Amino acid sequence: MADPTTRQPCVIVTGGAGFVGSHLVDRLVERGDSVVVVDNVVTGSWDNLAHLGDRIGRVEADVSTGLGLDGLPAGPPAHIDAVLHLASPASPPAYLQRPLETLAVGSEGTRQALEVARVHHARFLLASTSEIYGDPEVHPQPESYLGNVNSIGPRSCYDEAKRFAEALTMAYARAEGVSVRIARLFNTYGPRLRAEDGRVVSNLLTQAMEGRPMSVYGDGTQTRSFGYVDDTVDGLIRLLDSDVEMPVNLGTPTEFSVLELVEAVRRVTGTSAEVVHLELPADDPTQRQPDITRARELLGWEPKVGLMDGLARYADWLAGQA
Amino acid sequence: MADPTTRQPCVIVTGGAGFVGSHLVDRLVERGDSVVVVDNVVTGSWDNLAHLGDRIGRVEADVSTGLGLDGLPAGPPAHIDAVLHLASPASPPAYLQRPLETLAVGSEGTRQALEVARVHHARFLLASTSEIYGDPEVHPQPESYLGNVNSIGPRSCYDEAKRFAEALTMAYARAEGVSVRIARLFNTYGPRLRAEDGRVVSNLLTQAMEGRPMSVYGDGTQTRSFGYVDDTVDGLIRLLDSDVEMPVNLGTPTEFSVLELVEAVRRVTGTSAEVVHLELPADDPTQRQPDITRARELLGWEPKVGLMDGLARYADWLAGQA
């Protein structure tokens, strides 16, 4: 029998082989948690966790059909303290290619993860998204903003899946007494965001580093906030450890237009790559900016890594991959 | 072998033992369709279909776990021409008591129904709802209005389940080529809406007929539109038979305040029942009114039954139940 006074907290991370998930796993392992990652490695990769060796448990499973914890060599964990549900395709090209899978992991995958939390009386954290605000008509967006999502648009496979996941999470909190946390993540970038991920930072940086023209959708005046992954993970850990059951925005309030991002990328990479303007995709939000008052006041959190610094670190990682 | 030139169209109706569903089944049977009803009779009842005897097939199943068509005495239908997905708790007391089941039938139930449509190359009709507009900031609501739903509020178990169902339906249309129809039903009333259903018309009428005080939530100035079920079913049939793949509002544009409804109920029932004001529930929309331009133009549909006439017919039915 393990001595409960010295037992490491056991944390399940779905999507833990993904970009944000793998950084979160690093932090949890660093602080001594016992971590089991469940991932189907469709958009994630075990490579992101290779450096952790046998310090973590790994289950290759589609959480939409169950977390597969029975498949662990030593059997399912006897105690689970927290279930962190990050599994989902997260970049538009990834989810637009997999609309049914994206809807499944947001609904049935979230239910499977919540069931594990319910059975183990474990804390549950949902990685939700700024996409639940859709194309917002309020700037910046506080958590109380109800959003402006097109339920039948092409992106609804992601946006509505995440809105559903929030509703399901709250239903488990209300009906089953599960202790829940909901993080609404805004654009995040950094090492392990794949060059081909399709998000604007990885696209522009990769193109610039390869001396190719940089793709700007529309006129480039649409604004985004860009959060460095270390800051995002710091916020997730603080939220997990807090008693805050309300949704919390985690993002960087500093807004940049895509054209300003292009300039920053040119400076960081030292290139003078041209811009090529492409057609704006359907339902692309024109502006997105977090109001992080709640995270500041309740979690004492705010982002610390500036754009130039973060871009430089990400560029270093991308260069190491080439 | 059935002669395909004389074969009756085979239509599956999930939730066909419910209030709207059973009227829809009546109309389909009337016009010669071969109908199979799938219902778990949690909020519906086989009593609603008793008069149809052996003219329909019945499967008692929770569509969230499958449509159970193998359970039919003659086996599953060889051909299915249409799947009409109406299964869901639909009144606030019903879904607030069953949040997890409501989320399940909107997500997994819709997926199961869409899978049957996909496999059979059948047309799929989703009964969506005006609740996807939430507490609207635009009046009346056209189908293009994106809504104002609180993803974490108590009613989100219904609203987000239906928004998810719309997103899933469109994903099957785009990714799998399923021919889909989406009806957004506004408040509907009429025979077979159970006295204890909890919706405002059944509440007030039942109370007045029993000489009890009529419950008005809040000050009663919130407005609603009330559609008579025969009109709703006429709209559903027209939509099913049309080639309209966009969502279509089906409701009555005439707005009444709850206090005006109280007056109409008093006239119809000939009572002078008092009003008692109760606290407004969380997230109760203050106004809801359909813009039915699309139904008028594309389906040639508009409601025909006025409020006094409809209330009188519904009161007759309620009296027969007592």
Question: In chain B, what percentage of residues exceed pLDDT 70?
Answer: 96
User: Residues A14, A11, A184, B162: is their CA dihedral positive or negative?
Assistant: positive
Contact between chains at B174 and A154 (C-beta distance less than 8 A): yes
Q: Would the CB atoms of B167 and A100 count as touching at under 8 Å?
A: no
By CA distance, what is B152's nearest residue in A?
Answer: A167
Chain A contacts of B154, Cβ < 8 Å? 174
Q: Do B164 and A160 touch (CB under 8 A)?
A: yes
Q: Which residue of B has its CA nearest to A132?
A: B151
Judged against a pLDDT cut of 60, whether residue A2 lies above it is answered with no
* pLDDT grade for A311, boundaries at 50, 70 and 90: very high
pLDDT of residue A321: 87
Place of tokens 């003659």: B74
Taking phi over 0 as left and psi of -120 to 50 as alpha, with beta for the rest, B121 belongs to left
- What domains can be seen in chain A, in order of their start residue? 10-189+227-252+290-304 (3.40.50.720)
Task: Output the pLDDT for position A280.
Answer: 84
Cα Rg of chain B (Å, integer): 19
- Give the tens place of pLDDT for each residue, A192-224: 999 988 888 999 999 999 999 999 999 999 888
CA pair distance A102, A160, nearest whole angstrom: 10
| Partner-chain residue, chosen from B108, B148, B171, that has the shortest CB–CB distance to A157 | B171
**Residue B2's pLDDT is what?**
45
Residue-by-residue DSSP string for A109-163:
IHHHHHHHHHHHT-EEEEEEEGGGGBS-SSSSB-TT---B--TTSTTHHHHHHHH
Q: What residue in B sits closest to A115 (Cα-Cα)?
A: B100
pLDDT at B5: 62
Residues linked to residue A249 through DSSP beta bridges, in sequence order: A184
**Is it the case that residue B277 has pLDDT exceeding 50?**
yes
Helix (H) or strand (E) holding B160: helix B156-176
Angstrom distance (rounded) from CA B179 to CA B171:
11
Model confidence over A133-153: pLDDT tens digits? Answer: 999 999 999 999 999 999 999
The pLDDT of residue B82: 98
Assign B285 a pLDDT band (cuts: 50, 70, 90): low
Return mean pLDDT, chain A: 94
B158 is catalytic: yes
Asked if residue B178 lies in contact with residue B119, where contact means CB atoms within 8 angstroms, the answer is: no
Q: How large is the C-alpha radius of gyration of chain A?
A: 19
Residues on chain A touching B168 (C-beta within 8 angstroms): 100, 103
Q: Do B149 and A150 touch (CB under 8 A)?
A: no
Q: Which of B124, B150, B151, B162 to mutate to test the interface with A (most CBs of A within 10 A)?
A: B151
Q: What is the mean pLDDT of residues A297-313?
A: 97
pLDDT tens track for B300-322: 999 999 999 999 999 999 999 87
Local structure of residue A257 (DSSP, 8 states): E
Are the C-beta atoms of A92 and A80 separated by less than 8 Å? no
Q: Which residues of B touch A95 (CB under 8 A)?
A: none
> Is residue B181 exposed (0-12), middle (13-18) or buried (19+ Cβ within 10 Å)?
buried
A114 phi and psi angles, rounded to 5 deg: -65, -35
* Of B107, B111, B148, Cβ closest to residue A164: B107
Look at the alpha carbons of A258, A264, A267, A270 in this order and tell me if their dihedral is positive or negative: negative
Residues B156, B153: Cα–Cα separation, whole Å: 5
Q: Which of B95, B133, B158, B314 is catalytic?
A: B158
Distance of residue B121 Cα from the nearest chain A Cα, in angstroms? 18
Mean pLDDT value across chain B: 94
| B227 pLDDT more than 70 | yes
Taking phi over 0 as left and psi of -120 to 50 as alpha, with beta for the rest, A194 belongs to: beta
ipTM: 0.94
Q: Which residues, other chains included, contact A238 with Cβ-Cβ below 8 Å and sequence gap of 6+?
A: A295, A299, A300, A301
Q: Write the DSSP symbol of residue A4.
A: T
Residues in Cβ contact with B79 at an 8 Å cutoff, skipping those fewer than 6 apart: B7, B10, B120
